[in-house]
Amino acid sequence: MGDKKIIGSVTYWAVFNTKNRRAEALALPHEHFEKYPDREATAESFKKVNLAREAQLHSERKVVLSDLDIVNHANNVKYLEWCLDGIDPRPIMKQQLQSFDMNFMRELKMGDAVQLFTAQEDKQTFFSINKEDAPCFALELNWK
């Protein structure tokens, strides 16, 4: 591909403390990474997804064994899958997804009952995954 940029990503990582079941700041050595401080990976940095919008109930589900990861909770990858399973796949298959923002707010454990809410606004699809009216995850899909 030469010098052509194919993809960019910005991420914020946290360590999950399995004793107190809370996220902690990630403190890993990074001196060995090649860095490009004058170049941005994406047009926009990561952001907090706006939860203050009217959304409709899309579906309900319970966390099952196959949803769990190594620390016995459903993580942001599983939440993303649940949301993507609720949309028309054709725009994604036609590479019409420009970008997405997702925020993991709290863990879910096996047996937890959750509600998926969604809203469509212009060129954006919004999802929120809630447990007992508290948001656990938010996703914005930005379309071309």
In a domain, 42, yes or no: no
Q: Are 43 and 74 in contact (CB under 8 A)?
A: no
Min mean pLDDT across 47-51, 82-86, 129-133 is at 47-51
pLDDT at res. 37: 76
Q: Could you identify the residue written with the tokens 């447990």?
A: 131
Query: At residue 10, does pLDDT exceed 90?
Result: no
In a domain, 2, yes or no: no
Residue range(s) defining the domain that contains residue 132: 51-143
Q: What is the pLDDT of residues 96-123, one digit of tens each?
A: 999 899 999 988 999 999 999 999 988 9
CATH code, domain carrying 75: 3.10.129.10
Q: In angstroms, how far apart are the furthest CA atoms of the chain?
A: 50
Q: Is residue 139 packed enough to be buried (19+ CB in 10 Å), middle (13-18) or exposed (0-12)?
A: buried
In a domain, 29, yes or no: no
* Six token digits for residue 13: 């990582």
pLDDT at res. 11: 66
State the Cα–Cα distance between residues 22 and 141, nearest whole angstrom.
27
In a domain, 32, yes or no: no
Give the Å distances, CA to CA, from 108 to 10, 36, 57, 113: 24, 36, 19, 9
* Mean per-residue pLDDT over the chain, rounded: 87
Distance of CA 18 to the CA centre of its chain: 21
In a domain, 101, yes or no: yes
Nearest to 76 by CA among 115, 102, 111, 49: 102
Considering its fold, how many domains does the chain have in total? 1
Q: Which residues, other chains included, contact 21 with Cβ-Cβ below 8 Å and sequence gap of 6+?
A: 107
In a domain, 116, yes or no: yes
In a domain, 76, yes or no: yes
pLDDT at res. 78: 95
